[in-house]
Amino acid sequence: MTITLAACQYKIELIESFEAYTAHLTALVEEAVGQGADLLLLPEYAGLVLTGQLDATTRSDLHGSIAGIQPLVPRWMDLCERLARRHKVILQPGSMPVKDPDGEFRNRAPLFGPDGLIGHQDKQIMTRFEREQWQIAAGLDGLKAFDTPLGRLGILICYDNEFPMLGRRLAELGVELVLAPSCTDTLAGSYRVRIGAQARALENQYAVLSAPTAGTAPWSPALDENRGRAALYVPSDYGMPPSGIVAESDHDMVEESHWLITRIDLADVARLRTEGQVATRRDWPEQFGA
């Protein structure tokens, strides 16, 4: 089954009311759906755009802005669920810091489908910035696989793509497509995620769809600078692009949000595990006996 994927190179904008944000996200989703998208992916910390609704003093304070948007989280979740139901699509609207009952904030990426909330994935490993300055805690419940009408999906949030054993765990869970929402403020950061995502696709013989934040937002201490390209990565093997890049956006910064629309049959990727030039997924255990 060929499916249409939409990965958003997401421009961080100052949106100062929930009504305006609703119109913004609705229009963005409708644009992708109008191009035939079955699955829509937004980047890591896309939900932090909600900090624009706080007063200028609060939204300019890193910890104050994260705490300040917590009352908006249920409304954000409800909006995303309604959009997924209305358009009968899979929607991963990026992530945001969510305060848990234990008092810790975690970087959480929910996943919605035509029947509502499917589940969520928390980021497993924090960057130095998240760990030392944001004080975001690591997820407690490990990696998950999500069964959807399009196939079994997994989520590796940004930095998590740089760790081979996390990608391998998703392979062991039978994941066919990994969603990789990211947020990086330098080209070096965006390349780290890109290299990691391509390596995970190669090692595990699955596809990885990546969506980044892009542009500048001087009003936000968390999202002030953003670089990255949306892309779909696959193993470099029979029937796939030699580069392993099915599609990639043209620039690492944009003036407005832009969807990368691409199509893939996940069965073609799965076939490589048994008929490819190499069998990296099968042969993975051999390296530990070398």
The answer to whether 193 and 158 have CB atoms below 8 angstroms apart is yes
Cα dist from 122 to 22, 53, 151, 277, whole Å: 24, 24, 20, 35
User: What sign does the CA torsion over 182, 133, 57, 109 have?
Assistant: positive
**Burial group, residue 99, by CB count within 10 angstroms (0-12, 13-18, 19+):** middle
The answer to whether 123 and 157 have CB atoms below 8 angstroms apart is yes
Residue 198's pLDDT is 98
pLDDT per position as a tens digit, 113-135: 999 999 999 999 999 989 999 89
The single-letter DSSP state of residue 97 is E
Number of domains observed in the structure of the chain: 1
Indicate if the pLDDT at residue 215 is higher than 90: no
Indicate if the pLDDT at residue 217 is higher than 90: no
Query: How far, in Å, CA of 99 to CA of 73, rounded?
Result: 10
CATH at 279? 3.60.110.10
Query: How far, in Å, CA of 43 to CA of 92, rounded?
Result: 9
Helices (H) and strands (E) in the chain, counts: 9, 15
Residue 219's pLDDT is 87
Domain region containing 158: 2-289
The single-letter DSSP state of residue 59 is H
Query: How far, in Å, CA of 95 to CA of 48, rounded?
Result: 8
Q: What is the pTM of this model?
A: 0.97
Indicate if the pLDDT at residue 178 is higher than 90: yes
Residue 290's pLDDT is 67
